[in-house]
Copies of this chain bind each other. A is one copy, B any other.
């Protein structure tokens, strides 16, 4: 008879192969820290939900339960509420997707579940997914759980670099890799804060066509542009080649966890089977809440309110960075969404610097979490979506002081490991092959930059 509890994890040898690769994300490790009130968190991507008309939304949802409990508290269909799927088509029309049918939409538990479903439907272990460098940390987690391999494709201030995409495809073909899809975030990229230009969109789709490449377009931020109307989605250019993911997390509420995927019918059918196996059906109440919200509340006006609020925070961020960051620091200039992607002066490491930043009561997400291959040590993501402008200014002030102190140490000790600001494992300098995301450090100009 085997001993009952012989080791710390008596089941360690029973997990699936995929389980051994699972690890906590950089963001999760920060959770306990950023919730302390004295810390200014530029780390999380939490939307400013208190800007919503909470009383109106509250009574709306309360009535949905009192008046329609037989539906809102009951199981629903795996594909999602038909009424909501219709309204989702209206929302997508704002980005030029005018031919979508509710039958091609699957409602998901946030667009995160959409990502997971698409990946499970397409990817066997070892398959390759192309993704921007950097890419959304949550997507990398999904890809890793599916034991897919990520090949990064460079981006610059205009978004994904078409030549780099083509190079990657040629390389993968030569190696015999099975490339299942390109995963891309064309608008207000997480974490890079960059938007794919009109011209690049055409080029990317032309390459996709030429290489018969499937494109997964992840677009939670598309309606949150500060300066102009939403851009035309990739999906608006090709209904067969593009699988589109959307979310109400940033335009309404993430706590309801309502996202969706729009896919050609054959793929949609697979996605429905996959989601039924995973959750049976998405929550009914939250779906009714979103549909009713779109039906009865001024949701487009609310998005404008969010935009003004985020624009102000973006401005506070960029102005403070320009005023306070030491030379050699560069960053992107988002014209929508939640994030600024910052590059530290040469030789600094955002992950190693993190304990100092936390001691100085400011938090960010180190860049390495946004790469599948260990790149990104010199980067960090700053989120301006949640803190108030004054907090943002204070946070950037603290961060600038930390970077300066780090820079002083670095200048004094050079590459010598002092044992004080380097972690146990000495940092091996790992410069990414392409390094195009930059912006002048001492400019307060806002908007697109070469």
Contacts and interface: CB of A to CB of B under 8 A. Distances in A.
A255 B64 CA distance: 12
Contacts of A109: 109, 279, 282-283
A214 B285 contact: no
Given A24-B273, A28-B276, 19 more contacts: A1-B210, A10-B240, A10-B266, A11-B264, A11-B266, A14-B122, A14-B180, A15-B121, A15-B270, A22-B273, A49-B70, A54-B66, A61-B61, A62-B62, A74-B255, A109-B283, A112-B277, A257-B283, A257-B284
A212 interface: yes
Copies in the complex: 2
A69 B46 contact: no
Of all A-B residue pairs in the complex, the 4 with the closest CB atoms, nearest first, are A62-B62, A58-B66, A255-B284, A9-B266
Interface string A257-285: 10000001011001001101111111111
Chain A binding site: helix, strand, loop or mixed by DSSP?
helix
Interface string A18-48: 1100111100100100000000000010110
Interface residues of A, number: 96
Interface in A58-101: 58-59, 61-67, 69-78
A277 B122 contact: no
Contacts of A5: 240
Interface stretch (A137-145, A309-317, A374-382, A414-422): A137-145
A141 B277 contact: yes
A405 interface: no
Given A109-B109, A278-B278, A59 B66 contact: yes
A428 to B, nearest CB: 27
A273 to B, nearest CB: 4
Contacts of A17: 124
B286 A283 contact: yes
Interface string A94-132: 000000000000000110110010001111100100000
A426 interface: no
Contacts of A353: none
Contact of A267 (B11, B46, B255, B281): B11
A17 B124 CA distance: 7
Interface string A228-272: 000000000000110000000100011111000000101100100
Contacts of A253: 73-74, 285
Nearest to A16: B124
Contacts of A278: 112-113, 116, 142, 145, 278
A112 B109 CA distance: 13
Given A11-B266, A74-B46, A67 B58 contact: yes
A8 interface: yes
A61 B145 CA distance: 35
Among A59, A73, A210, residue most surrounded by chain B Cβ atoms (within 10 Å)? A73
A299 to B, nearest CB: 14
Nearest to A139: B277
23 contacts: A2-B212, A11-B214, A15-B270, A16-B121, A16-B124, A16-B127, A19-B270, A19-B274, A22-B270, A50-B69, A58-B66, A61-B65, A71-B255, A73-B255, A74-B253, A74-B255, A75-B254, A75-B255, A109-B282, A116-B278, A116-B279, A257-B283, A285-B289
Contact of A280 (B58, B63, B138, B285): B138
A145 B63 contact: no
B112 A280 contact: yes
A138 B75 CA distance: 14
Contacts of A10: 240, 266
Nearest to A142: B277
A63 B58 contact: yes
B210 A255 contact: no
A55 interface: yes
A62 B77 CA distance: 24
A12 interface: yes
A405 B18 CA distance: 52
A72 B255 contact: yes
B63 A69 contact: no
A279 B50 contact: no
Contact of A22 (B55, B124, B277): B277
